Amino acid sequence: MSHAKPIRYTEEVRPEDTERAQQTLTVTLFPDENKPAAVDFTGTCPRCDDQVHYREWLILVASSLRVNKTQMEAILAHLDEVGVDRSHGDETFDLTCSCDIAHPNRPKDKQGCGATFRVRLSWP
> In the chain, how many domains are there?
1
pLDDT of residue 89: 93
Establish if 7 belongs to a structural domain.
Answer: no
Name residues of the chain where pLDDT drops below 50: none
pLDDT of residue 72: 87
Establish if 5 belongs to a structural domain.
Answer: no
Burial label for 54, CB within 10 Å (0-12, 13-18, 19+), is middle
Establish if 1 belongs to a structural domain.
Answer: no
pLDDT of residue 121: 94
What is the domain extent for residue 102?
15-123
Establish if 6 belongs to a structural domain.
Answer: no
Establish if 71 belongs to a structural domain.
Answer: yes
pLDDT of residue 4: 64
Q: With beta carbons less than 8 A apart as the criterion, state whether 76 and 37 touch.
A: yes
pLDDT of residue 3: 58
Establish if 95 belongs to a structural domain.
Answer: yes
Establish if 91 belongs to a structural domain.
Answer: yes
